[in-house]
Structure 1
Amino acid sequence: MAKGKAKDLKAGDAVEWESSGGHSTGKVVKKIIRETKLKGHVAKASPDEPQFKVKSETGGEAIHRPEALKKV
């Protein structure tokens, strides 16, 4: 799946992304469709502009826009 087409992601999908710590891999936890706060960051998601909560293989959680994620 190419970047930008990730709006079709669902819970359990394996994904990869680039972060401040480098390349990460993990799984989608859930699709976010409303403003959500995680670790002091507010994700301004909506049904038309969803974001995704992901959990890395090291156990960290984050929320990313679909264009930042690549299905693997």
Structure 2
Amino acid sequence: MRACRFERGDHVSWNSEAGRVRGTIIRVVTSPIRFKGYTVHASPEEPQYEIQSDLTDHIAMHKGSALRKLASRRKR
């Protein structure tokens, strides 16, 4: 199963220990990096996404397969 592709600015949701979380993609990662003490094994074929939570300042990193795209939010 091929994961969905997302872009910076997309509004997405994902499961966490606290339940479903919503946020905005702030960076698309396409090469291995260190994130919060872990190696993120991203590549152009399998990017990972850095996401900022809508409700907190929490930043998370997820594979596309863990994310669900939400309807676009319009900024005023």
State the TM-score, normalized to the length of structure 2.
0.81
Instruction: Give the aligned CA root-mean-square deviation in angstroms.
Output: 1.3
Structure 1 stretches of 4+ with a deviation exceeding 2 A read none
More relative contact order in 1 or in 2 (CA 8 Å, sep 6+)?
1
Q: Which runs of 5+ in 2 are unaligned?
A: 71-76
Residue in 1 aligned with 2:52?
55
- Unpaired runs of at least 5, structure 1: none
The question of 1:65 aligning with 2:63 is answered yes
Residue type of the partner of 1:69? L
Q: Does 1:39 align with 2:32?
A: no
Aligned to 2:11: 14
Displacement of 1:18: 0.3
Query: Aligned pair count?
Result: 68
Q: Which has the higher helix share?
A: 1
Largest Rg, 1 or 2: 2
Offset at 1:59? 1.3
Equivalent residues of 1:38, 1:62 under 8 A apart:
no
